[in-house]
Amino acid sequence: MAQLALRNLVKRYGSTEVLHGINLEVADGEFVVFVGPSGCGKSTTLRMIAGLEEVSDGVIEIGGREVNHLEPKERDIAMVFQNYAIYPHMSVRKNIAFGLRSSKMSKPDKARRIEEVAGILSMTELLERKPSQLSGGQRQRVAIGRAMVRDPSVFLFDEPLSNLDAQLRTQMRLEIKKLHQRVGNTIVFVTHDQVEAMTMADRIVIMKDGRIQQVGTPDEVYHRPQNTFVARFIGAPSMNMLDAEMSDGRVIMPQGQAIQLGGLTTAQPGRITLGVRPDDLVPVESDMLIQGKVTVREPLGSETLIYVDTPGGEIVVKADGRKPPAVGEVVRLGADPANLHVFDRETGMVLR
């Protein structure tokens, strides 16, 4: 049985519909990440699950029971907010204890539970401090502690790492992942950062304009994107998109090269978009896919990103960091046909 189920979830503000029928099932103990650009509806979906936004249409089930009309406190959820929402006038201990206010636990049990959570999050020595005496990462841990202490059915995280610097974000990402492996609760995590989504999720839900674009494991959404939006959104740098033509079951590139690809769902002639990831493009002597002139180099140490001006537009390639092509040099690039993605240029949907 799904721990969390969303069935045809719709949200309207007045006459404006912002979520257009979201369907999703999250298994017990699963770590699901909602990812998408600003305004895609991911936070709205999370807030509806939490009970902070009313459901315009559809059903939300938590632990097999419909919760549409239940108050947030009755839903057996806990939420961690983007700006932590830890109360500045309370100590860490009181902040964590706050989550247990409505619990029927005895006082000694509550105290034991707080110590246990503080121990898991390595915060025992910080319990008497005020939030203003904590670093950003420590504050985030307090916020997680306050959510954890109640042992809810579902944890909801609303962009909890956005306010942290890059190094701390990486560290907290790892800590949250370890925490999930340790406690095993169901987690729904919202982020706009695809790296966070890829590194933490069991399954990723990619959203755009109030609709789910694709649901899948990080591997699936990276290697088998269902449309051009997912293909571009997942992966950094983004997948290169080249306009091409389909003719006689072959892909004709802008410079006239023809590539035979198997497994196409349609053999209809027409305009297509060919997607290829920057790390799948390699310099070749024969079987060239495309060629162009290097315009910019971005050294990253182990690799260098090179921007290549081609007749199909500018593309980016991950080159070996030790001997990247020089600016102005003409490069001939090829790719394993197995790593090429073909999309319908009109609908953006995958054809292969």
Interface residue list for another protein (CB under 8 A): 50-52, 71-73, 77-79, 81-85, 87-89, 98-99, 101-102, 131-132, 136, 139, 146
How far apart are CB 348 and another protein at their closest, in Å?
36
Q: Specify the residue, 106 or 132, whose C-beta has the smaller distance to another protein.
A: 132
Q: Specify the residue, 63 or 136, whose C-beta has the smaller distance to another protein.
A: 136
Q: Specify the residue, 84 or 229, whose C-beta has the smaller distance to another protein.
A: 84
Residues paired with residue 156 on neighbouring β-strands, in sequence order: 79, 188
How far apart are CB 129 and another protein at their closest, in Å?
13
How far apart are CB 94 and another protein at their closest, in Å?
10
Q: Specify the residue, 85 or 349, whose C-beta has the smaller distance to another protein.
A: 85
Q: Specify the residue, 72 or 337, whose C-beta has the smaller distance to another protein.
A: 72
How far apart are CB 194 and another protein at their closest, in Å?
24
How far apart are CB 252 and another protein at their closest, in Å?
54
Q: Specify the residue, 56 or 82, whose C-beta has the smaller distance to another protein.
A: 82
How far apart are CB 57 and another protein at their closest, in Å?
20
